[in-house]
Chain A
């Protein structure tokens, strides 16, 4: 689904640098989801299907209002519902729009072996290019949010594109456009972060959400495995326990063994093989062959 009008920042499985990087400045985009004003109408689910051209797929009824347990290869945007009993004994109906978080350091892209199957644009959108996807699902292994989904018929993996095709043409994503309560916002990362902070302040001052907070995990610390912040951020009514918002991970990171596998092991393995081949060659140069007495040897 990758879009030619956007500027590419990083490419999966790609040796060497990224062509064209830094030729012009582009601000980073961000989607802000205010869970305190979401009413669970699912208009964003429908808008997502319509824009991306998928038919409405079969649903799973599990005694909740949730359309299905998790997102699917052809269902990228899912409102998660949770009936939660608070400390005061009141029932809270928590709803959260679940979709790709568009991590700044994406675990899917780090894990992907296929050249150009996953690209990250300078505006922060992480996009799958199914033409180059080989169906290995390493991205599933690398993602801390359970987002990439495999289609066993096409042997490709799919996920939310943050409507890269719309954004590339100067439009807002389809889900944002459909939201009737204004709980979905779209703009630059900087603006959305300010907007989120302002909303949290408002919630703390004027409502009973005294533990409200912004969910923008990872921060800009650059430590190994850090996803370095996301391009989808949430205002949560209670930020102490994001898990209760449909399993939002409290400390998402690229799995440790994925960073080891795609980091040191790749280099140690490559060097090991190179020195191994050189080593046996040098053995021959130093000690020659195992000649059997009385036999002519050709090699």
Chain B
């Protein structure tokens, strides 16, 4: 855990608050969120005629065809930066297994029964893993779809499977994305503030990420 997290909240850290995300983490998260959302909406426009109007809203068919791959690269770089920054916190620990055993309690909001978790709980680690690997698949298939005209004719046979994998992988990320956005915006009050201002209350930290709270504050209560 870098000590930089202590000093990089949006405003002065008040009594009873803990810094959860440093400025660079928050900024990168929002670059990631915006670039993902752009790729999501333009991708959906190209996926089904019923959502082609999204393309018109975002600049028109030719424009989204041009920008979707470039913004996808921004998203990719942002994901790699997250990987380097959060690798240590995303590593599996024994508490992950306990969390998975209590997933029912977690889903039904009996949080007092869920064992203490580190900076990220096992669910967040799973979300991260899904997004990271799907992004790599989207990148590889996306590059093929970006320049089909540069592809030798005898390799054109891979194009149909490539677009199919690109679509399926994107749908997997959309499933994860829906849950992620729901949990942050609506299901877990306080998490949106963590990603905007950078701080959470000590109670919030103690409830949702007790091991992390104890580690960064040295406190036991």
Contact = CB atoms under 8 A, between A and B. Distances in A.
A297 interface: yes
A68 interface: no
Given A70-B153, A134-B64, A284-B187, A266 B178 contact: no
B182 A146 contact: no
Interface stretch (A31-39, A47-55, A176-184, A257-265): A257-265
A150 B167 contact: no
A23 to B, nearest CB: 23
Contacts of B208: 290, 292
Contact of B174 (A266, A273, A288, A295): A273
A152 interface: yes
Given A134-B64, A141-B163, A280-B182, A114 B188 contact: no
Nearest to B170: A269
A289 B186 contact: yes
Interface residues of B, number: 47
Contacts of B61: 113-114, 132, 134
Question: How would you classify the secondary structure of chain B's contact residues: helix, strand, loop or mixed?
Answer: helix
Contacts of A19: none
Contacts of A242: none
Interface of B: 45-50, 52, 55, 61-62, 64-66, 107-109, 111, 145, 148-149, 153, 156-157, 159-161, 163-164, 167-168, 171, 174-175, 178-179, 182, 185-190, 201, 203-204, 207-208
Given A15-B50, A137-B148, A292-B204, 4 more contacts: A141-B156, A155-B65, A289-B109, A297-B189
7 contacts: A15-B52, A113-B52, A113-B61, A146-B156, A284-B182, A295-B190, A297-B189
Interface of A: 13-15, 70, 113-115, 132-138, 140-142, 146, 150, 152, 155, 255-258, 260-261, 265-266, 269-270, 272-273, 276-277, 280-281, 283-284, 287-295, 297-299
